[in-house]
């Protein structure tokens, strides 16, 4: 399977960003390294969720399932 450099780069960047944000979330939820409340916790969760969505899009594009948006979106 031949992957364009652009798609490969987008995938790697999205994956690394998601892993960074996931690690920050784990520090709070699993390790208890910090205590966040209210808007700070919401922001942390939202950043991880957006990074995961971007990764999922890049992954699908890498696999050849991305591209034109669906008319149903």
Per-residue pLDDT of the chain (73 residues; tens, 9 = 90+): 677 889 999 999 999 999 999 999 999 999 888 888 889 999 999 999 999 999 999 999 888 886 655 444 4
pLDDT for res 47: 96
pLDDT at 35: 84
Quick one: pLDDT at residue 36? 84
Range 16-52 burial, b when 16+ CB lie within 10 A, else e = ebbeebeebbeebeeeeeeeeeeeeeeebeebbeebe
Q: State residue 67's pLDDT score.
A: 61
User: What pLDDT score was predicted for residue 54?
Assistant: 96
Centre a 10 Å sphere on the Cβ of residue 5 and count the other Cβ atoms it contains.
7
Give CA–CA dist 64/36, Å, rounded. 39
């Amino acid at each position: 399977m031949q992957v364009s450099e652009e798609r490969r780069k987008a995938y790697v960047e999205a994956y690394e960003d998601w892993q960074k944000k996931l690690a920050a979330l784990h520090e709070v939820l699993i390790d208890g390294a910090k205590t966040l409340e209210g808007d700070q916790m919401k922001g942390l969760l939202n950043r991880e969720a957006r990074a995961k969505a971007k990764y999922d899009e890049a992954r699908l594009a890498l696999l050849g399932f991305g591209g034109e948006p669906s008319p149903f979106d």
